[in-house]
Amino acid sequence: MFNQLVKNLEDFRRTKSYDLVTATPLIAWYVLGLVRQAPLTWLRASDLILGRTGLLDFLQLVALAGSFVLIFLLIYLLLTRRTPERRTHGIGPRLVAIGGTFLGVGILLLDPVRLSLPLQIAADLLIIAGAAGSLVAVSWLGRSFSLMPEARQLVTSGPYACIRHPLYAAEMLGIAGLMLQFKQPWAVILGGLVFVLQYWRTVFEERLLQEVYPNYGIYRARTWRFVPYVF
């Protein structure tokens, strides 16, 4: 009886239904983000239509619009992605993935700081670059997108032809932009923790991909982790 129950559970874990169940909390999180960003996005869009938009407001609107597009794409991919060929084992890789994904939101709970115009522009440009880079990376990742370390399909084209983790690299650009805009040193501490977790996350992911895809070692040898010709 118990063995049959375990077998049924394992069979269910391989189905699309189980994949949708595991994706539901992340989808809900993204929807909450859309709801929270909607009032400010509408305000900046209204200002633009009425001709009352300055440079910083325009940059903020671009970042918000990019974030909306990215979130809608992520929700779509979570609903349509492939079922994984193999999932990670153990609680450690899952905790690292969750921390790397959500810890950066803690920066938004800190008190914002007033920046000089050059620093504010730099912060906005980093956020825009992060959103744009994430959108490109996710578009190439397509139905292989995942939060946890999972092997769905090995993607080695587009930005993945140069670096193995372009999505995380883009996310860290956005986090760097956020860090500049909130109370120090706490914003830097939280951002630094996100960077560490994202690196650790790649270690777990690459270990799993190496086990599933025999040619992953060749791909890994000719690419960089985050930055071409650097690291």
* Amino acid letter, 163: I
CA dist., res. 24 & res. 131, Å (int): 22
- The yes-or-no verdict on residue 4 having pLDDT over 60 is no
The predicted-structure confidence for 73-112, as pLDDT tens digits, reads as follows 888 988 998 888 888 888 999 999 989 888 887 887 888 8
Phi, psi of 224, rounded to the nearest 5 degrees: -110, 160
What was the pLDDT predicted at 85?
87
Instruction: Select from 225, 86, 208, 70 the least CA-distant residue to 137.
Output: 70
The predicted-structure confidence for 142-169, as pLDDT tens digits, reads as follows 889 888 899 999 999 999 999 999 999 9
The predicted-structure confidence for 42-70, as pLDDT tens digits, reads as follows 988 898 888 888 888 888 888 888 888 88
What was the pLDDT predicted at 12?
65
Q: What is the mean pLDDT of the chain?
A: 88
Rounded to a whole number of angstroms, the distance between the first and last alpha carbons of the chain is 51
Its CATH class, for the domain covering 2-221, is mainly alpha
CA dist., res. 64 & res. 56, Å (int): 12
What was the pLDDT predicted at 3?
59
* Better-scored residue on pLDDT, 31 or 11: 31
Instruction: Select from 129, 200, 125 the least CA-distant residue to 171.
Output: 129
